[in-house]
Structure 1
Amino acid sequence: MARTTGSHSDITGPRVRAAALTLFARHGFAAVSMRQIATEVGVQAGALYNYTPDKQTLLFELMRDHMVELLAACRDAPDASPIERLERFVRFHIAFHHERPDAVFIAYMELRNLEPDNFEEIESLRRRYETVLEEILQAGVASGTFAVTDSKIATLAVIAMLTGVNTWFRTGGRLSLVGVQDQYWDMVRRLVGAAGGSV
């Protein structure tokens, strides 16, 4: 099918992805059709295939791009102390994910809908991100700063705890984002057995 008049790949392509992101987050991947995405974008359903081969590819690319962006933005500083590195990670994770609620929801809730090869690639990217935190915790244990028995379990627990902020925090509520970061940093610090005063 010919491309819709006035539709350009550098404009419509991102609009297709943005519409898919919103609809997948709102209704769930399985419940959203290509026709719904087309309607949201304002093009004919057949025109979508100029921008993506299928719905599975859309889901995979949304997840992959989110993880690639996350990894690119996550800046560890191996020369800093473990406690400084951990605090930086905590504050970064909360702020980064707060700005992308739909992408975060999809990244965690729609993994089950990925085909095996796509799932493995996303899991590989997730492991790379988890490794950043795990190496910080291992450095803290090695220096005697943290008291962590199993760095892998602690890593998963901390990430789950931080990501959970997205389920309840809303701008304009009782706490500011910085206030939430302060309190979560204090809780994470205690979780890993690090010394220091509370916020």
Structure 2
Amino acid sequence: MARTQGSHSDITGPRVRAAALKLFAEQGYAAVSMRQIAREVGVQAGALYNYTPDKQSLLFDIMEEHLSDLLAKVRALPLLDDPVAALERFTRFHIRYHSARPDEVFIAYMELRNLSSENFARIEAMRGAYEDILENILAAGQQAGCFAVADVKVATLAVIAMLTGVNTWFREGGRLSLDEVETIYWDMVRRAVSA
């Protein structure tokens, strides 16, 4: 099938991913067809296969791109020796990064069940690498006597779940600014793990 006039791979490829992201976040992966994605992009349905092998690949690419960027950005932060300062920075980073990407976060958490087992394993490994960063901060704080948690892994997962929850309710222009939300959440995280 011919490419729609005016479409270019360097433009249309990202538009396909953006349309899939929007539709998956709005309707859920299972409810979205390749025809809907094509219609959103403005290309013929068969033309999508010039940019992606299938819908599963689109879902995986969205998740992988999100997690790759997340890991690159958090790893680019300078190392801090003080576990308390490192935990505060992680808390603020997580909230700020994720609040700017609500659709990606929604898909990364809610659509895991729709990944093939191979793709699931790859995404889980990336999520685990991100969790390890916080787990190492908490373990260092525990060792230094700054933090007291019954189980570092459980505390890691609880903190990440709490921080990610900001995406479900925070809206720009609401009662609190993002800076205020970060400060409130930092206080809650600090209290939850303090020795």
Amino acid at match of 1:74: V
1:176 paired with 2:181, answer no
Cα deviation, residue 148, structure 1: 1.2
Counterpart in 1 of 2:159? Answer: 158
Q: 1:173 to 1:79 in 2, by over 3 A?
A: closer
Rounded to whole Å, the distance in 2 between the matches of 1:83 and 1:122 is 29
Counterpart in 2 of 1:113? Answer: 114
Cα deviation, residue 79, structure 1: 3.9
Query: Unpaired segments of 5 or more residues in structure 1?
Result: 195-199
Amino acid at match of 1:114: L
Counterpart in 1 of 2:13? Answer: 13
Aligned ranges 1:128-139 → 2 under 5 Å: 128-139=129-140
1:74 counterpart SS class: helix
RMSD: 0.9
1:24 paired with 2:21, answer no
1:62 paired with 2:62, answer yes
TM-score normalised by length of structure 2: 0.97
Counterpart in 2 of 1:40? Answer: 40
Counterpart in 2 of 1:197? Answer: none
Q: 1:147 to 1:180 in 2, by over 3 A?
A: same
Cα deviation, residue 53, structure 1: 0.6
TM-score normalised by length of structure 1: 0.96
CA contact (8 A) 1:17 1:58 kept: yes
Amino acid at match of 2:162: M
Cα deviation, residue 152, structure 1: 0.1
CA contact (8 A) 2:3 2:44 kept: no
Amino acid at match of 2:178: L
Counterpart in 2 of 1:123? Answer: 124
Cα deviation, residue 80, structure 1: 2.4
Deviations 1:16-62, CA, capped at 9 Å, x for gaps: 00000000000000000000000000111011000001000000000
How many residues are aligned here? 194
Which portions of structure 1, spanning 4 or more consecutive aligned residues, are displaced by more than 2 angstroms?
A: 75-80
After superposing the two structures, state which structure 1 stretch, 47-56 or 69-78, moved more.
69-78
Give identity over the alignment, percent: 70
Cα deviation, residue 77, structure 1: 4.1
Q: 1:28 to 1:180 in 2, by over 3 A?
A: same
1:141 paired with 2:142, answer yes
Rounded to whole Å, the distance in 2 between the matches of 1:79 and 1:5 is 52
Rounded to whole Å, the distance in 1 between the matches of 2:170 and 2:37 is 28
2:194 counterpart SS class: coil
Rounded to whole Å, the distance in 2 between the matches of 1:6 and 1:156 is 47
